[in-house]
Amino acid sequence: MRNEYNLGVGCRMDSKRKTGTQSLIVLLAILPLAFSLTNKGDAQRMPIVAEGKSLARVVTHEQPSPIVEGAASLLVEYIRRSTGVTLEKVNDAAAPVQGMASIHCGSTKLVQGLKLKTEKMDKDGFVIAFPSASSIVLTGPTDLSVEYAVYDFLERYVGVRWLFPGAVGEHVPTLKSLSVPAVEVRQEPAFRHRLFSGLGKEEKPESRGEQGLWAKRNRMHDRLQFHHNLWSLYLPEKYTATHPEFFPMIGGKRFLPVPAEGKTSAQDVHAQVSWQPCFTAPGGIEEAVKNICEHFEKNPSVDSYSFGINDSNDYCTCDTCTAKDGGGKNVLGVRNISQSYYSWCNAVATGVNARFPDKVFGLLAYNGSYSPPQGFKLNPHVVPMMTYDRMKWADTSHEATGHALTELWGKSASVVGWYDYIYGGQFYLAPRVYFHQMEEYLRYGYDHNVRYY
């Protein structure tokens, strides 16, 4: 077996350069765990299919979740498409059959009795284990991680590739026989959050479509709320009458957004978000803490909340905000709000964490909040997503500036995220994918504590 350079969940790179399409998976999914696997020599191989004959069954728990059931069915389906052989799918209660291996998907009775330590893994980590000469285990700490184990199995051993969305981007090689080396695979994603815009949210499978499905097969996973959101934290229809001080002073006057309710034009919707809250308003922090705690009470499975500023440069210019921020501009030439804004973020995070200690808060380091604050660090539960088009790093002067800012943020935040602009958007007709450059900068990011992308 060749030496391999392992790139985290679903990503492998041979020591030679990959072709462009192969690299797509490497670049768009996840990044390097950056450990080298040594030559495994002649590991014992477990036969699954031999010359048109099934030598294995797929086993699930007696009552598997729909996700695990779906993952087991997917495994059967793709092995059939590759080899023409349909593996039997059974549950725990089925008696073993002599001469047939068992491929356990998820937490079967056998798996429950093994000490695989998956509970200590990242939620998206997974294990492919070989506990005996006749059993293979595909499992992880969550149902989704079992699905990831199946995707990895299909890529790694069958050679399936999901290169781009739709049937035309899928490659399923034709195999006469299928056997796998009995060497444990244990992976955790280098980047906790892996997503780019426009591919659909995987929480809504009914609306996922081909692009969302492709993203899921490549283990993209939206795990942090960080986008424009403060308009919904201080809803104008709720607060303009009772707490006008939550809204910004612009041009010497209090700006009170027009409620969007009942309005339909794009202009009216925009009016809802074309402002920023006053971050030094009396009572503003307490009200934010109260609202976010209510949100988590109503949505206990949600583990993050977005502090993302609205998509506007209409920042508050009241006396207290100006005194705190200094009234100057940042490196983007935009009014610098980092002192008032990040002080507000820290206070709100501390308030919410007093009741919900595990919740985290993503945000956009963007426009007025682009630069790290001076003189204090972010609360460790606050994750800044640095916004930048890193394709510009092809120009080494931009790269040097970007590296410097990333490293500066690394001193201000416990963990950093990167928001990128690779998805196309209004300026580009299609996603821009420069394999080697992206590989290089994502590796750099990982080395500099970027864990959300």
Least separation in angstroms between CB 316 and Zn ion: 3
Inter-CA distances, 297 with 103, 226, 272, 291, Å: 40, 19, 26, 10
Q: Can residue 318 be called a binding residue for Zn ion (CB under 5 A)? A: yes
* Residue 365: CB minimum distance to Zn ion, A: 20
User: Nearest distance from residue 278's CB to Zn ion, in Å?
Assistant: 3
Binding mask 263-282 for Zn ion (x = CB under 5 A): ---------------x-x--
348-359 per-residue burial string, b: 16 or more CB within 10 A, e: under 16: bbebbbeebeeb
Q: Between residues 25 and 321, which has the closer beta carbon with respect to Zn ion? A: 321
- d(CA 121, CA 188) in angstroms, rounded, equals 7
Q: How far is the CB of 154 from Zn ion (least distance, A)?
A: 54
Give the total of residues touching Zn ion (CB under 5 A).
5
Beta partners for residue 189, in sequence order: none
Give the C-alpha separation, 341 to 288, whole Å.
Answer: 13
Q: Does 386 bind Zn ion (CB under 5 A)?
A: no
Greatest Cα pair distance in the chain = 83
- What single letter denotes the amino acid at residue 160? V
CB of 413 to Zn ion, least distance (A): 24
CB of 321 to Zn ion, least distance (A): 3
Count other C-beta atoms under 10 Å from residue 26's C-beta: 23
Contacts of residue 132, defined as CB under 8 A and 6 or more positions apart, other chains included, come to: none
Task: Identify which of residues 206 and 319 has a Cβ nearer to Zn ion in the complex.
Answer: 319
Q: CA 131, CA 21: separation in Å to the nearest integer?
A: 35
In this chain, which stretch among 7-15, 296-304, 315-323, 381-389 interacts with Zn ion, using CB under 5 A? 315-323
Cβ–Cβ < 8 Å for 156, 12: yes
Q: How many helices (H) and strands (E) does the chain have?
A: 13, 21
Taking Cα atoms as reference points, which of 220, 217, 174 lies closest to residue 201?
220
The interface region with Zn ion, picked from 55-63, 266-274, 318-326, 426-434 by CB under 5 A, is 318-326
Which stretch in 21-29, 309-317, 352-360, 441-449 sits in contact with Zn ion by CB under 5 A?
Answer: 309-317
- Binding residue for Zn ion, selected from 72, 85, 321, 349, defined by CB under 5 A: 321
CB of 315 to Zn ion, least distance (A): 8
Q: Are 193 and 227 in contact (CB under 8 A)?
A: no
Does residue 285 interact with Zn ion by CB under 5 A? no
Q: Is 309 a residue that touches Zn ion (CB under 5 A)?
A: no
Contact positions with Zn ion (CB under 5 A) in 147-176: none
Q: Which stretch binds Zn ion (CB under 5 A): 308-316, 352-360, 367-375, 389-397?
A: 308-316
Among 27, 30, 316, 391, binds Zn ion (CB under 5 A): 316
Q: What are the residues binding Zn ion (CB under 5 A)?
A: 278, 280, 316, 318, 321
